[in-house]
Structure 1
Amino acid sequence: MKMDYLQALKRVDEARGAWIMHGQEPLLEQNLLDAFRKSWSTHEIERQRYDISNVGDWRNVFNALNSLSLFSTQLAVEVHGNIKPDASSLKLLKSYIQQNEHNLLLVVMPKQDSNSLKSSFFQLIEANGVTVPLTANYPQDRQRILGLEAEKLGIRLASDAWQWLEQHHEHNLLAAKNSLMRVSDTFADVEVIQIDHLYSCLQDQSRYTTYDLNDALLDGNLAQSIKIFQYLIASGEAMTLILWSISKEMRLLMQLFEQPQNALQLGIWKNKISVYQQALRRLNPAVFLNWPALLLRIDASIKGIGNENPEHLIQQAISSLCGKPLFSDIA
């Protein structure tokens, strides 16, 4: 079955079998993962994490699901990556779904195209488990999601303040949540937040934003990009938001390279098409092959997995996007 984000949040405690979360909304992904991990901890469910870097890694996942430690009665296996199981691993998945009613396989994947959603892997889980697209395509969906965030912070916004917040952040939920946190701290005693409160709180919060970083990246201005990145880090911008901005530009450039006539359908604004086209002319297409792995490394380092420094990795991504890679292995 398919569930949206808000439905999935309500079903976390009873989740069993196989679930897939997929999308490009870091706020929704992080909130759901936090809810799952809290539930597992509360119910003393053993948790294991696997990062899929090749098809063979799926065997380790199913081996884990079919074995428990001496001190556990239930297991949750959290899988991250963008590589789907092959035919032999799909057989193991079918066997797991049919025979194991107590454990949970939770797969976390980036946004998938229509062909991927029609694959045997997705079809099998949708028919026997749960798929959760991490999207919020409509204003009412985004406001409900952010309404929950405001409720957690103990604040209320006037209806026109919601509209201003969404327009200000161009539908970026994670950035909007960060703004709610700022306005909550600044106007803790205000009963209903108005547009004036938002504006006065946010206009001076940062000299640069992630949108300025995106513009500098597309222009190929390495010095300005690094300057903005360092400012964002110093001003406390969430690393996940910076990664989201960089990965969005990488994804759009790769998609535009493959579908040069479909810029509008890919979500590129009409007045930005020429900027993306100029960026493509500047870049060597060979760099696209390295971007997915680099983004996975950044994501893992932000989550504290491994010994790599996320700031250093993000600077590598920035340099690569500007067409001036720091190292030959990501050229």
Structure 2
Amino acid sequence: MKIDYLQALKRAPEARGAWVIHGQEPLLEQNLLRVFREYWQAQNIERQRFDLNNASDWKNVFVALNSLSLFSTQLAVEVHGNIKPDAQSLKQLKHFIQHNQDNLLLIAMPKQDASSLKSSFIQTVEANGVLVTLAANYPKDRLNILKVEAEQLQIQLDHDAWQWLEQHHEHNLLAAKNSLMRVADTFPDTQLIQIEHLQQCLQDQSRYSSFDLSDALIAGNFSQSIKILQYLLESGEAPSLILWTVSKEMRLLMQLFEQPQNALQLGIWKNKVGHYQQALRRLQPQQFLTWPALLRRVDAAIKGMSAENPEHILQLCVAQLCGQTLFK
């Protein structure tokens, strides 16, 4: 079954079997995963997470799916990566789908191209489970998604303000949501947000943005990247949004290393392909193996699940992307 992002939000509480979510819209992935995790926590559903580094990691996924703890009746296994199961793991997937009653296998992947969508793995999930494409290709789609965000923040925008917001952020949903959060905090008693409110609220963040951070990271400009990171944190940018910027660049570089001929299919703009290729040349492949764990540390620190300082680990991520050593 194929469904879109908004349909997936509604169906998340009833999700069972195998789900694949894929796309290059970090806001949509972040929101959907949050809905799943909040539901699992509320229902006391056991959750396990796996990050795929090679095909053999799928064995651990299916071992987990067949081994509930003594205190759990349901299990949600969350898998992240762009490695499809081999023939043996695909058989295990089919067996899980056919015999599963209560558990969920949720697989989060980057955007899949046309050939990948025709693979046996994706076809199996689409035929027997749920395939969610995290995309907002048309203005109407982006508007509907952002209206849901505005409703959650308990604000309303007039027609012109919506148009200005999308044009200002060049269709970047994550940046647009950040602006909605800012305007909601700045004008808590305003019933209808207009262009003037957005302009007044956002002019203070015009010095640097997450786009500037991305450009500095890919250019390997360590001092500029740290400067922008500090500015964003001091100006109130949510650490989780900064994490999405950093993780997006890390994922793109790892994917480009594995698929050097598929830069455009991975979502890299044509005029920036050279910059990403140059970034790969200054980095060591061994570094990529440490990045998933590093990103998990940031996520845990932001959520208060560890004693580490989120800012310090974000600085470490910046150093890694720039090919620098922060601590010796």
Q: TM-score interval w.r.t. the shorter chain?
A: 0.7 to 0.9
Residue 144 of structure 1: aligned partner:
144
Normalised by the length of structure 1, the TM-score is 0.84
Alignment of 1:227-246 (within 5 A): 227-246=227-246
Residue 202 of structure 2: aligned partner:
202
Q: Distance in 2 between matches of 1:236 and 1:198?
A: 16
Alignment of 1:246-261 (within 5 A): 246-249=246-249, 251=252, 255=256, 258-259=260-261
Asked if the contact 2:247/2:295 (under 8 Å) is kept, the reply is no
Q: Distance in 1 between matches of 2:154 and 2:314?
A: 34
Query: Is 2:7 aligned against 1:7?
Result: yes
Query: Is 2:321 aligned against 1:325?
Result: no
Deviates more, 1:38-47 or 1:302-311: 302-311
Q: Give how far 1:198 is off.
A: 0.4
Asked if the contact 2:75/2:104 (under 8 Å) is kept, the reply is yes
Normalised by the length of structure 2, the TM-score is 0.84
Deviates more, 1:309-318 or 1:211-220: 309-318
DSSP 3-state at the match of 1:258 = coil
Asked if the contact 1:252/1:266 (under 8 Å) is kept, the reply is no
Residue 71 of structure 2: aligned partner:
71
Q: Distance in 1 between matches of 2:283 and 2:165?
A: 36
DSSP 3-state at the match of 1:49 = strand
One-letter amino acid of the counterpart of residue 71, structure 2? F
Query: Is 2:28 aligned against 1:32?
Result: no
Q: Give how far 1:249 is off.
A: 4.8
Q: Distance in 2 between matches of 1:290 and 1:23?
A: 26
Asked if the contact 1:58/1:89 (under 8 Å) is kept, the reply is yes
Q: What stretches of structure 1 of length at least 5 have no aligned partner? A: none
Deviations 1:46-72 (A, max 9, x none): 322233333233222212222333333
Q: Give how far 1:119 is off.
A: 2.1
DSSP 3-state at the match of 1:78 = strand
Q: Give how far 1:11 is off.
A: 0.7
Query: Is 2:305 aligned against 1:303?
Result: no
One-letter amino acid of the counterpart of residue 301, structure 1? R
DSSP 3-state at the match of 1:76 = strand
Asked if the contact 1:156/1:192 (under 8 Å) is kept, the reply is yes
Cα gap change, 1:283 to 1:44, in 2 (>3 Å): closer
One-letter amino acid of the counterpart of residue 269, structure 2? I
Q: What is the total number of aligned residue pairs between the two structures?
A: 321
Q: Give how far 1:140 is off.
A: 1.0
Query: Is 2:81 aligned against 1:85?
Result: no
Deviations 1:210-256 (A, max 9, x none): 12223334544322222111222233323343343345556279759
Q: Give how far 1:128 is off.
A: 0.7
Deviates more, 1:156-165 or 1:33-42: 33-42
Q: Give how far 1:320 is off.
A: 5.2
Q: Distance in 1 between matches of 2:278 and 2:38?
A: 46
DSSP 3-state at the match of 1:3 = strand
Cα gap change, 1:284 to 1:169, in 2 (>3 Å): closer
Q: What stretches of structure 2 of length at least 5 have no aligned partner? A: none
Residue 156 of structure 2: aligned partner:
156
Q: Give how far 1:187 is off.
A: 1.2
Q: Distance in 1 between matches of 2:58 and 2:79?
A: 9
Deviations 1:256-287 (A, max 9, x none): 99349x86995526xxx2x653x367545373
Residue 97 of structure 2: aligned partner:
97
Identical residues among aligned pairs (%): 59
Deviations 1:156-204 (A, max 9, x none): 1011111111122222212211211111121122121000000001111
Asked if the contact 2:18/2:105 (under 8 Å) is kept, the reply is yes
Deviations 1:283-325 (A, max 9, x none): 4537373565454234312221888766455445544554x43
Q: Distance in 2 between matches of 1:316 and 1:133?
A: 32
DSSP 3-state at the match of 1:303 = helix
Alignment of 1:273-284 (within 5 A): 273=271, 276-277=273-274, 279=275, 282-283=278-279
Q: Give how far 1:125 is off.
A: 0.7
Alignment of 1:109-120 (within 5 A): 109-120=109-120
One-letter amino acid of the counterpart of residue 242, structure 2? I
Asked if the contact 1:46/1:72 (under 8 Å) is kept, the reply is yes
Residue 285 of structure 2: aligned partner:
289
Cα gap change, 1:157 to 1:85, in 2 (>3 Å): same
Q: Distance in 2 between matches of 1:295 and 1:171?
A: 28
DSSP 3-state at the match of 2:3 = coil
